[in-house]
Structure 1
Amino acid sequence: MEGGMDKTLADELMSVADALADAARAATLLHFRTELSAENKETDRFDPVTVADRLSETRMREILAARRPQDGILGEEFGTTTGTSGLTWVLDPIDGTRSYLAGTPTWGVLIAVMDETGPIYGLIDQPYIGERFSGGLGRAEVVGPMGRRQLKTRAARPLSQAILFTTFPEVGTPEEGAAFNRVKAQARMTRYGTDCYAYGLIAAGQIDLVIEAGLQAYDVQGPIAVIEAAGGVVTNWEGGRAHMGGRVLAAANRAIHAEALALLNA
């Protein structure tokens, strides 16, 4: 087990993560594709939060209070709860609330458990499709409409043959956008707007790169665990650790990661 963790604890953490994802599925589907209103959390752009976001996180926190009260929690909607175990659950109750409001099935629920080194296990769950990507603690798999399959990232190939994803075409500041466009100019195809689902596609071997900026810890910790377990690489734009958010470069393998990293810093 990772970090010398015993199997009993690892199995418990994976079981709890699945219970959290199951609860979040029920909570989010209760309001999906309904006439749902949203509050705006920011003043200079539309950053929505809904009753579904809050219900999803509330139900996950209730499970943690019952099953892992000694652990900390970092959640998007209700902040930080300090624990005593050295483990912290990192929760994004709906990653892609804009997509959720629009009715597209590319939003997701992100769950990770981290220690002092970063995420050791994570989930990317898409409730409407019924697809769950999991990684860490010896596991790298996806379960969904096509059954249960092992996750494995795509083998190295030139950037000129690569598929690149990001959520927002502007990719942060003008300077960050210019750096992204240097990679985009060399890639075969670029797609936008799939939020956390793009990270699942890296882990599944479907695409090569995701590049984003301005992320939070709860946006990336679940995806980091899943992608790394599948054989991929996730860093910041300087090649360092990305588990607390910021500018993130997720890649299917080290070769294409190096090629994209050089262009981001050209």
Structure 2
Amino acid sequence: MTPDWDSLTRFAIALAYESAAAILPYFRRNAEIEVKDGPVWDPVTEGDRAGERAIRRMIEERFPDHGILGEEYGVKEARSPFTWVLDPVDGTHAFVCGMPTWATLNGLSYAGRPAVGLMNQPVVGDMFYGNPAGAWHDYRGATSPITSRRNVTLEQASIGTTAPELYRSTENQRRFQALRARARLTRYGGDAYFFCMVAAGHIDIAMDCGLQPYDITPLLPIVAGAGGAAAEWTGGDLARGGNVITAGSEALLAEALAVMSG
């Protein structure tokens, strides 16, 4: 039986509102920061943890058989084909700097493939979501369908990526610089927002290195629902994260990948 994607999407929206209520009390409050182990400065705040606790609690009450993969609290194994993939504060660097470009991401995988995805920025009032039927933007309660921009060549394209220094390997830096040199415009610092801007038709390419599943799984149904395309540029499985590039059309994605491959 086909899952009820409309009902599951409404539940994802409810999760976004619940997590916003848990996270916002920590935003611009200079909350205590902890740093995770790793090669880069990777902060975490109580806002991250509170947001994920709120989401997990709702999922476990409503769908106890569903699995959960969250950035802060790890894996709850599924007893069904469904797994929720959660990043309560994507863009924690922006969060701790007081910039409203962070977002809460929640997505639902079905049989291992991204099916429903949502990005919410409660300070701005932006919510983007997608499922197999399409993609939508809710701005402070006014909802409209979105579609990606088509018929754009690479020379006409705008690119969004979090930061150039995150392309740490020589090969990834070469690929990124080759693409950037061909495009019209490159912007930095948008984190998950850039992927939603591709879906909404405001930019043409969004890309980032070294993503975890919870960084990208919730965004892929938004891009796909809007008519965009995505790839892991080393050939890996998109649902597992990695080096991800999305574009407003299959043709632009193919052109970008050709340039990056040399």
TM-score range, shorter chain: over 0.9
- Residue aligned with 2:123, SS: coil
Q: TM-score, normalised by structure 1?
A: 0.94
Which residues of structure 1 form unaligned runs of 5+? none
Letter matched to residue 167 of structure 1: T
The alignment status of 1:224 with 2:220, answered yes or no, reads yes
The 5 Å alignment of 1:98-247 reads 98-145=93-140, 147-170=142-165, 171-238=167-234, 241-247=237-243
What is the root-mean-square deviation of aligned Cα atoms in Å? 1.4
Distance 1:180 1:253 in 2: 19
Instruction: Specify the alignment match of 1:39 in structure 2.
Output: 34
State the 1:26 CA deviation: 0.9
Kept after mapping to 1: 8 A contact 2:48/2:72? yes
SS in 2 for 1:222: coil
For the residues of structure 2 that align with 1:26 and 1:229, how far apart are their CA atoms? 27
Q: Quick check: 2:157–2:205 contact (8 Å CA) kept in 1?
A: yes
1:97 is matched with which residue?
92
1:60 and 2:59 correspond: no
1:127 is displaced (CA, Å) by: 1.2
Alignment partner of 2:255 out of 252, 259, 266? 259
Q: How many residues align?
A: 261
Q: Does 1:5 align with 2:9?
A: no
Match of 1:26 in 2: 21
What is the CA–CA distance in structure 1 between the aligned matches of 2:42 and 2:159, rounded to whole Å?
Answer: 24
Gaps of 5+ in 2: none
SS at structure 2 position matched to 1:256: helix
The separation in 2 between residues aligned to 1:100 and 1:254, in whole angstroms, is 33
CA shift for structure 1 position 106: 0.9
Mapped partners of 1:158, 1:15: distance in 2: 36
Asked if 2 retains the 8 angstrom alpha-carbon contact of 1:165 and 1:190, the reply is: yes
Cα contact 1:134–1:140 (8 A) shared by 2: yes
SS of 2:26's equivalent in the other structure is coil
Deviation at 1:87, TM superposition (A): 0.4
Letter in 1 for 2:200: A
- State the secondary structure of the residue aligned to 1:172: coil
- Tell me if structure 2 keeps the 8 A contact 1:180–1:211: no
Does residue 74 of structure 1 match 2:63?
Answer: no
Paired with 2:39 and 2:86, the residues of 1 have a C-alpha distance of: 25
Percentage of matched positions with identical amino acids: 38
Q: How far has the Cα of 1:40 moved from its partner?
A: 0.7
- Secondary structure of the 1:243 match is helix
